[in-house]
Amino acid sequence: MKKPTISTIIVIICILIIGLYAMGEVNYFSSKIAVERNVEAPTIVIPSIGVNEKINNESLSQGVLHEPSSYVPLTGDVLLFGHRTLQGSPFLRLNELSNGDELVLEWPGIGEMKYKVVDSTIVPATYSLNAEEGGNYLYLITCDPIGSTENRLIIKGELSETNPINTQILQDNPQESNALIITAIFLVAGLIFSFIYPKDQRIYILAIILIIFAILLYCCINPIPSELIYDKIIFLNGGI
């Protein structure tokens, strides 16, 4: 068996980097699903961009975060933060929203609140948004542009309708199998790539693919906090 060439070593490094990102996402979805087994968590649904996310009040790394200094619906303005990239990217397509688009909050103990988008703004990261008691607005906040923390994209929705809570939406979890899907995609893509790689170097590529696949599979069953991985590779995103 020939020793790995320089080009093969570079390819292995690239695969390792991709594997680290895949590991971060697999751990994100696996650990998040475990937390979201509690159907009492509120949910945000944005039909026009395919968002159906549980809301937490613990950490942005667990998905959509309810800003503790804001209010719950019907008592004041609601502020929700979400990542634009990585860790599930719940607010990836937030920029596609237009005035009139519907935002839905399913909030246990309160009901179903529907908001209509009335404004979309981009502000510096230092901008401070204060929630008002008694306000009827929902603010969705994420980073802008994609891959940068330089600015904030803020979507403003105005309360338009209230209804009894939709328990089916609370119980629904469309992300249940995302970790396994990412793992399977990595394996299939890796096997295809190793098959077309030069035969005398193929064994090295195949070995690293199978090792990373085994780690991903393990993470599906025994996840660790995804931020532990992203904190180590943040420099690959330019330190953001």
**Quick one: pLDDT band at residue 131, thresholds 50, 70, 90?**
confident
Residues 181 and 163 in one domain: no
SS3 call for 200: helix
Average pLDDT score over residue span 139-168: 89
pLDDT in tens, 63-77: 899 988 889 999 999
* Domain limit, last residue, from 119, 151, 171: 171
Among 36-50, 119-133, 143-157, the range scoring the smallest mean pLDDT is: 36-50
Average pLDDT score over residue span 49-72: 85
Instruction: Find all residues with CB under 8 Å of 9, minimum gap 6, and list them.
Output: none
Note the residue count of the chain: 240
Q: Between β-strands 64-66 and 102-107, what pairing exists: parallel, antiparallel or unpaired?
A: unpaired
Domain assignment of residue 223, given as a range? 6-32+176-237
Looking at the structure of the chain, the number of domains it has is 2
Residues 141 and 193 in one domain: no
Distance, in Å, from the CA atom of 65 to the CA atom of 59, rounded to the nearest integer, reads: 6
pLDDT in tens, 77-125: 999 999 888 777 889 999 999 999 999 999 998 999 999 999 999 999 8
As a three-state string, the secondary structure of 86-153 is CCCCCCCCHHHCCCCCEEEEEECCCEEEEEEEEEEEEEECCCCCCCCECCCEEEEEEEECCCCCCEEE
Average pLDDT score over residue span 161-170: 85
Task: For residue 1, tell me if it sits in a domain.
Answer: no
Asked if 149 and 185 count as a contact pair (C-beta separation under 8 A), the reply is: no
Residues 158 and 52 in one domain: yes
Q: What is the chain's mean pLDDT, rounded?
A: 87
Residues 53 and 81 in one domain: yes
pLDDT at 232 over 80: no
Distance, in Å, from the CA atom of 221 to the CA atom of 178, rounded to the nearest integer, reads: 13
Asked if 92 and 156 count as a contact pair (C-beta separation under 8 A), the reply is: no
Percentage above 90 pLDDT, the chain: 52
Model pTM?
0.78
33: left (phi over 0), alpha (psi -120 to 50) or beta: alpha
Average pLDDT score over residue span 162-176: 80
pLDDT at 29 (0 to 100): 85
pLDDT at 239 (0 to 100): 43
